[in-house]
């Protein structure tokens, strides 16, 4: 992942992750941490963009909430093999902001993100694999996604930034979060009749 600017709202290192509590389903654990779950209309309603910089304080308020919930999630689940993200609708906020944490990189706050370009151009060359979602963490979806993505977003001050995601699963993972802000879930991309992959 490359970006013209790093997010300056750094967080303290999270404690060492623990395994999910196996006496409860993963979705129940996520719900207890404040993650909105599948079936809640908040997840499919879409979001309202920020008018920046006049709504800077509101953007920072939601960013603080996203960061706190993401920290709590990382205390119970190990994401060290990839990335994790969280979008505002997943914490009950219908606004266009998400956070993205690639392993070993600073947290990136994506405000009013827009996908500029994806690659390869041919959908047949996109990668098909599984991805999970904190809003239905009991199973994973198998779907095709681009291998690279260029995304524009705003800082809390309203400045435009552009980030390129072209390593490993980063394009897939960040597109998953951008989808959330349009009310689109990864299950919406799955071909009818395709089986879900259990995480149990």
For 77-94, what is each residue's pLDDT tens digit? 988 767 899 999 999 999
Residue 100 in domain: yes
pLDDT at 145 over 70: yes
**Using CA atoms, how far apart are residues 180 and 97, in angstroms rounded to an integer?**
10
The per-residue pLDDT for 12 is 46
- Rounded to the nearest integer, the mean pLDDT of the chain is 88
Report if pTM > 0.75: yes
Residue 155 in domain: yes
Q: What is the number of structural domains in the chain?
A: 1
Residue 46 in domain: yes
The per-residue pLDDT for 10 is 46
The per-residue pLDDT for 199 is 64
Structural domain boundaries, residue 190: 24-198
Give the number of C-alpha atoms closer than 13 A to the C-alpha of residue 105, restricted to the C-beta side: 22
Mean pLDDT over residues 127-155, rounded? 94
* CATH code where residue 141 lies: 3.90.45.10
Residue 188 in domain: yes
Residues 6+ apart with CB under 8 A from 60: 9, 156
Residue 17 in domain: no
Percent of the chain with pLDDT over 90: 72
Residue 140 in domain: yes
* CB atoms inside a 10 Å sphere around CB 41: 9
Q: Catalytic annotation on 117?
A: no
The per-residue pLDDT for 34 is 96
Residue 81 in domain: yes
Residue 1 in domain: no
Name the catalytic one among 55, 93, 131, 177: 177
For 68-77, what is each residue's pLDDT tens digit? 999 999 999 9
């Amino acid at each position: 992942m490359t970006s013209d600017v790093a997010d300056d709202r750094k967080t303290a290192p999270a404690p060492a992750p623990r395994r999910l509590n196996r006496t409860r389903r993963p979705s129940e654990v996520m719900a207890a941490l404040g993650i909105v779950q599948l079936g809640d209309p908040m997840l499919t309603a879409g979001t309202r963009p920020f008018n920046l910089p006049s709504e800077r304080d509101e953007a920072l308020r939601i960013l603080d909430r996203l960061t706190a919930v993401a920290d709590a999630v990382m205390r119970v689940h190990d994401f060290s093999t990839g990335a994790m993200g969280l979008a505002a609708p997943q914490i009950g906020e219908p606004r266009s902001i998400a956070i993205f944490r690639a392993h070993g990189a600073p947290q990136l706050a994506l405000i009013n993100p827009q996908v500029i370009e994806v690659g390869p151009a041919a959908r047949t060359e996109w990668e098909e694999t599984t991805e999970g979602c904190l809003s239905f963490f009991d199973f994973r979806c198998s779907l095709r996604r681009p291998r690279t993505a260029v995304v524009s977003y705003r800082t809390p001050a309203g400045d435009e930034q552009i980030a390129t995601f072209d390593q490993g699963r980063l394009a897939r993972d960040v597109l998953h979060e951008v989808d959330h802000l349009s009310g689109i879930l990864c299950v919406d991309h799955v071909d009818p009749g395709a089986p879900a992959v259990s995480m149990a």
